[in-house]
Structure 1
Amino acid sequence: MARKSETPQEVELKLEIEPSDLETVLAHPLLQAGTGNEPQKQDLHSTYFDTPDHALKQAGLSLRIRHNGTQRIQTVKAAQAQNGVALTRGEWEHKVDGDKPDFSAAEKTALKPFVQLQDRIGPVFSVTAERTLREIPFGLSVIEVAVDRGTVDGQALPLPFGELELELKQGSPADLFGLARTLAMAAPLRLSFKTKAERGFETISRVVPNRVKAEPVTLKRRMTSAQAFQSIGASCLRHLMANEALVRQAPEADTVHQMRVALRRLRAAITLFKHVVADGRRDPIKAELKWMANVLGVARDLDVYIQKVLEPAQAQHQDDKSYTALLAYYRKRRKQAYRMVQETIASGRFVNGILEVAAWVQAGDWLQDRSKPARQRRKQPVVALAEQELGRRWKRILKRGKHLAKLEPEERHQVRIEIKKLRYATEFFENLFKGGGAKKRRRAALKTLETMQETLGGLNDIAVGFEMNSSPAAVAIHEEQMARVDGLLAAAKKQYRDFAALQPFWSV
């Protein structure tokens, strides 16, 4: 533990802002003269260094030299496991005389294992920023506010950006969110997890991701339930915002789907920890997340209908004018749905809503309830909560899925939702159970759950497809799809038997 305390820590909340809104935020009374220290104006030029194969980046490290006037500061930053929404990183700073890294100064930093590669480490991109910097008191804390109008210069065209960094100098992380929400009243502030180093590497990369899948959640057995919820909630928000950035640029089926998955995972986490996070904001926040997911759901349903029903029928119906018209009609509707998604995620309701959710996850009223039952629920070891919730959800699927073939389509869909929730819970808690063959049993459970979810999803797609359109072409395609139902039901019954035969992975 002593070693951990020796690593300098940076606790920072990042917020994206449209460059055109920067002056509006700077005009906020909290950032005007007479409050806290006087603002400093800085012209910053930062050069980032790495090997040709980006070894530092892959190790979660960044190395930069920043010019501020005649001063040059070399900074090494090390990514850490993120257990909350605010970024926490190891940070080491040293003054240097020139424009090249001083590797002797890096010997006592996280960069030490890479000093032997110094001959291969060179500049990869630069970031310039006009920064307005000041420290202000807020709540019981002192917070440094950095407002940047910046540009990333790499191999491609320069990329402009606007950014606020709120760094906790003294006090509570809760005040970071309080200040962010206050400033957001002046202009939309978008929650961001993207560092300037990440912006730079994206600029020079020739590979543009078409989606970002959920990162593994790393819980530790000694964590309390409150700590575990915050870690899971932050992971879901990172998953959401990584795909939101892609959807803002160009909506695609996979990125829209991953945004919706992130929202569903977050809602599932709130349900899992519902007694831990009970307060007056819990249910309104769940409702707002559902609104967001529903907007994305319209586009997702159209994607599924086009990709899994209409397009597979193209070869058989390519000479049918009514089919061609039907496909064109739904592609047009999907385009409209994508436009609605982009309008929604650009809206103040969405942007400020996500910031509100992040503030609640990290510093909500549920953390302030001093009653004995509330404190006990927050302090309960997450292992105990995980065992209870996994067991309850496992039994629910065993009971509700026993007669899958006899259920109505909507009832089968509800079983699928329960399977999906158990999958999410299994993924959230997977790091807690490793011994006694638990890893092997967990993998078997996940594989079976995924297969059941896919099969029941196919049945639901057929049922939903019937309701999508009543034109002759759509009815003909639906009749063709109905031929698959018996086979899917037989597969689902077998998969349920496989699931019922599994031993729960959290049992030793």
Structure 2
Amino acid sequence: MADTKREIERKYESDESGLPDLTGVAGVAAVIDKGVAHLDATYYDTEDERLAASSVTLRRRTGGSDAGWHLKFPVAPGVRDEIQAPLSGTVPGSFAGLVRSRVRGAELLPLVRLRSDRDVRHLVDADGLLLAEVSLDTVRAERLGTGKSAEWTEIEVELADGGDPAFLDTVDKRLRKAGVRPSKAASKLARALAETAPKKKRPKERTPEAPVTAGDHVLAYLRTQRDAIVALDPAVRRDVEDSVHSMRVATRRMRSTFKSFPRILDRETTDPIADELKWLAGELGVARDREVLHQRLSAALDEVPPALVSGPVAERLNRWAGERPGGASGRLIGILDSHRYLALLDALDRVLTDPPLLEAAGKDPGKVLGKAVRKDFGKVSALVEQTLELDPGTDRDTAIHDARKKTKRTRYAAEAAKPALGASAKSLIKTMKALQNLLGEHQDSVMARQTLRELSAVAHAAGESAFTYGLLYGREEQRAAAVEAELPGFWAGNKDATDAL
């Protein structure tokens, strides 16, 4: 079983003077010499360095207090999540899965070997608690199979587990005062790769510094969503909170963008990809939708006075929520390991490296994107107006659900256009988000009532009282009625939301 920890550290250039004196740093009661550790690490990547391109590192290291396999994912500058596994001769299978969205079918190879002599100091407070570990590392890097090598010395300051990141600022001031400067490389591996790089480099996607044309803006938005899907893959595999929802939203944003801008991207190419994105969103939603509904019904049940709870309602609700053959995580990992999913990722890459751009892609973004957003909003407007004319019931429920889906599409289109349209798009995004939440509350009530009917039937067949299910059903009806009552006023104040575009 792999262990995970949050690594917060800073790296500095070093010369022959060694470690500066840190005994006077605020909060530091003592600097304890922990001796010199000899570390030997082999870093794995694809031949074209796909992990390094994503600032992901995979290594097998001996020596020191944490020998084993280490896999690090970037969180923020100077912050990484490190996953550890015991030493073994080959890359752990769990690690191979966690990097699959980036590696795809390429082979993981040992690319770089780093041997370091680490002179370690512990900074402790008055109670002897560790604040940070400071080390002077003498590094010898070798790119395997090429004979290319490099050597350097650096200072590394790593915050103790659970420490206050502000303490690193305090240490930073002392180091700068002593003439030490931050390292230009983000990591030892990054520096080793740069200093031992072969002449031939992997071709990169066309990523303009700032979008200019309408096509540039759409591709920039699509790239952000593709990157989110790839980056969230390991988090979904590790069952990180909200990761499934976030990946699902990214797939929906991408699919919606294909449909909102048919004058920019050829739908003959994007429609099959959109179908696969719909499939992936559906697979991600199997567990997510039930989880959200369970939370809603559990919270509603908690509000019911105990005297009105008849029968094992909570127990039955929990059993219903747990009915996932093989477990949600196992099922999702199977999806993420599938050829279909990996082929989808490859297709997304191709859209970005060789985009199927149409004539409008090269035109003024304000005009082209603004027209597309207004068109999407027009569909929302028509559906909401239709909804307001319908009587409460199934037809109205369906119309509200359709309006919600078109609202999300309009919101995502405005997000893609925001860099070009500015404040007017920002205002529309805010309005669409509010409408989406309002209509989403109604749809959640519809789904909750459907589930309550099913649970009630099962409880009745088992000889249990269905009273509480009926009570919850009635409350959900009231919540839906409240949305329907609020919608006319909301729409009256926002039906001209695109006038400024």
Q: For the superposition of Structure 1 and Structure 2, which TM-score range results when normalised by the shorter chain?
A: 0.5 to 0.7
What is the CA–CA distance in structure 2 between the aligned matches of 1:394 and 1:128, rounded to whole Å?
46
- 2:474 is equivalent to residue 485 of structure 1: no
Which of residues 312, 317, 332 is equivalent to 1:322? 312
Tell me the equivalent position of 1:452.
Answer: 435
Structure 2 counterparts to residues 77-226 of structure 1, below 5 A: 98-99=153-154, 119=180, 121=182, 143-144=200-201, 167-168=202-203, 173=205, 223-226=212-215
2:454 to 458, 464, 470: 470
Matched, 1:227 2:216: yes
- 2:367 is matched with 384
Within 5 Å, which residues of 2 pair with 1:12-91? 13-14=50-51, 19=91, 42-44=112-114, 67-69=140-142
> 2:366, 2:354 → 1: CA distance?
22
For residue 251 of structure 1, report the CA deviation from its aligned partner.
4.8
Closer/same/farther in 2, CA of residues 355 and 116 from structure 1, 3 Å limit? farther
Distance across 2 between alignment mates of 1:218 and 1:483: 51
Match for residue 296 of structure 2? 308
CA distance in 1: counterparts of 2:385 and 2:337, whole angstroms: 44
* TM-score, length-scaled by structure 1: 0.58
1:234 Cα deviation after fit = 0.9
| Residue number in structure 2 paired with 1:421 | 409
Q: Distance in 2 between matches of 1:354 and 1:420?
A: 23
Encode CA deviations 1:371-393: one digit per residue, 9 max, x unaligned. xxx4x233223222211111112
Partners of 1:65 and 1:427 lie apart in 2 by 47
Counterpart among 230, 234, 250 of residue 241 in structure 1: 230
Q: CA deviation at 1:425?
A: 1.3
2-side partners of 1:475 and 1:382: how far apart?
Answer: 53
SS in 1 for 2:263: coil
Instruction: Give 1:356's match in structure 2, choosing from 347, 350, 371.
Output: 347
Mapping for residues 366-377 of structure 1, pairs under 5 Å: 366=356, 374=358, 376-377=359-360
Give distance in 2, aligned partners of 1:339 and 1:493.
Answer: 44
Q: For residue 327 of structure 1, what is the amino acid of its counterpart?
A: L
User: Which structure is larger by alpha-carbon Rg, 1 or 2?
Assistant: 2
Counterpart amino acid of residue 350 in structure 1:
Y
Which shows bigger deviation, 285-294 or 13-22?
13-22
SS of 1:470 mapped into structure 2: helix
Paired position in structure 1 for 2:126: none
Kindly indicate whether the alpha-carbon contact (under 8 Å) linking 1:430 and 1:442 is maintained by their aligned counterparts in 2: yes
Q: Determine whether 1:333 maps to 2:323.
A: yes
Gaps of 5+ in 1: 1-10, 32-38, 49-63, 72-93, 102-113, 137-141, 145-166, 175-216, 368-373
C-alpha distance 324-282 of structure 1, shift in aligned 2 (>3 A): same
Deviation at 1:291, TM superposition (A): 0.6
1:393-449 deviations in whole A, cap 9, x for unaligned? 222222221243425211111111111111111122112124xxxx2x544433322
Q: Does the 8 A contact of 2:431 with 2:497 survive in 1?
A: no
- Aligned AA (1:500): K
Q: How far apart are the structure 1 equivalents of 2:315 and 2:378? A: 47
> Corresponding residue for 2:249?
261
Q: Which amino acid aligns with 1:419?
A: T
- Name the TM-score, length of structure 2 as normaliser: 0.58
Shift of 1:236: 0.4
The separation in 2 between residues aligned to 1:117 and 1:409, in whole angstroms, is 68
CA deviation profile, 1:153-195 (whole Å, cap 9, x unmatched): xxxxxxxxxxxxxx23xxx759xxxxxxxxxxxxxxxxxxxxx
Cα distance in 1 between the residues matched to 2:116 and 2:353: 31
Are residues 343 and 415 of structure 1, via their aligned partners in 2, closer, same or farther at CA, if it must alter by over 3 Å? same
| Distance (Å, rounded) in 1 between the aligned partners of 2:155 and 2:284 | 47
Q: Which amino acid aligns with 2:113?
A: D
1:118-158 per-residue CA deviation (whole Å, 9 max, x = no partner) reads: 53748997559999x9999xxxxx954xxxxxxxxxxxxxx
Number of residue-to-residue matches in the alignment? 348
Task: Flag structure 2 segments of 5+ consecutive residues without an equivalent.
Answer: 1-47, 59-89, 101-105, 119-136, 157-174, 457-465
| Contact kept? 2:139, 2:153, Cα under 8 Å | no
Query: Match for residue 128 of structure 2?
Result: none
